[in-house]
Amino acid sequence: MDTQVILQFILAIGLGLLIGFERGIGKQEKTEEEIRTFALISFLGALTTYISMESNSSIFAIIGFIVVSVFAFMFYGYGIIKNNENGLTTELALVTTFLLGVFVMSGYYQMAVILSILITLLLSSKKFFMNLTKKISMEELQNTIKFAVIALVILPMLPNQKYSIMDLLNFAGFEGKFDNTILNLDFFNPYGIWSFCLYYFFTILTIERNFSSFFFKLFSFLKFFYIY
């Protein structure tokens, strides 16, 4: 076993410890056991992947994933019976930690590190999301979804180029029937118009929610960047 493989195992254990520490912080009982469990799960993912790579068969990694998933499901059932806990967060974190070990041993170090940080951030944001759900109304949520549809779904699909009235007439089937300089002036940009609608919608949200002036000025700059 070369040095690189040993370092991969160490990295896998370290990522498991990171998530385990997050799960153990603030708990009165079994903190050490939970931290070690996550480290071992990540190590198991790396180990089964290493064996699969050496044997040219993915069966070991698949079996390891199934075993961890069954273990997490049993742990979830035990929590319901004994403590009346319905949350799946820790169980899903166990399965995800196994996959982190798989990524590390497969050579996707950067992806594994980034995912572990994101997972830890999500797991530690419970109070933040609880407070957020209390502060945001259904109307505000719907406005946010509308804004996301405008910005992330419709806007990227629109052509970012200018059209003239002649282009519109040609598209409607009147090609060659009109010849006028004014009609050939480019003035219509679907991407720019929709960007302006996006800016207007964001302005309304800004006024309603009193967002900071920094984000308002930033989006004002982006509006001119999109249109011009």
Q: Using one digit for the tens of pLDDT, what is the confidence trace for 99-158?
A: 999 999 998 988 999 999 998 888 887 777 677 677 677 766 776 777 677 677 776 777
What is the enclosing helix (H) or strand (E) of 6?
Answer: helix 3-24
Q: Are 178 and 70 members of one domain?
A: no
DSSP string covering 75-127, please? HHHHHHHHH-----HHHHHHHHHHHHHHHHHHT-HHHHHHHHHHHHHHHTTHH
Q: Are 120 and 168 members of one domain?
A: no
pLDDT, mean over the chain: 75
Task: Identify which has the larger pLDDT, 173 or 76.
Answer: 76
Query: Does the structure show a pLDDT above 80 at 198?
Result: no
Q: Are 141 and 111 members of one domain?
A: no
**Domain membership of residue 190 as a residue range:** 136-227
Q: Are 108 and 146 members of one domain?
A: no
CA dist 155 → 72, 144, 162, 170, 199 (Å): 42, 15, 15, 24, 12
Query: Does the structure show a pLDDT above 80 at 58?
Result: yes
Query: Looking at 131, 164, 199, which one is the last position of a domain?
Result: 131
Query: Does the structure show a pLDDT above 80 at 169?
Result: no
Query: Looking at 104, 131, 158, which one is the last position of a domain?
Result: 131
Q: Are 110 and 27 members of one domain?
A: yes
What pairs with residue 186 in β-bridges?
164
- How many CB atoms are closer than 10 A to CB 100? 27
Q: Are 61 and 83 members of one domain?
A: yes
Instruction: For the chain, report the end-to-end CA distance as a whole number of angstroms.
Output: 58
Provide the number of structural domains found in the chain: 2
Q: Are 221 and 165 members of one domain?
A: yes
Q: Are 146 and 221 members of one domain?
A: yes
Question: What is this structure's pTM?
Answer: 0.60
pLDDT above 70 coverage of the chain, percent: 57
Q: Which of 183-187, 205-209, 220-224 is the most confident on average?
A: 183-187
What is the rounded distance in angstroms from the CA atom of residue 94 to the CA atom of residue 105?
Answer: 17
57-63: which pairs have CB atoms within 8 A and are 24 or more residues apart?
61/102
What is the rounded distance in angstroms from the CA atom of residue 64 to the CA atom of residue 66?
Answer: 5
What is the rounded distance in angstroms from the CA atom of residue 198 to the CA atom of residue 108?
Answer: 37
Task: Identify which has the larger pLDDT, 1 or 57.
Answer: 57
Query: Looking at 101, 131, 161, which one is the last position of a domain?
Result: 131
Q: Are 123 and 42 members of one domain?
A: yes
Q: Are 140 and 216 members of one domain?
A: yes
Q: Are 156 and 53 members of one domain?
A: no
Mean pLDDT of 61-75: 86
Q: Are 81 and 145 members of one domain?
A: no
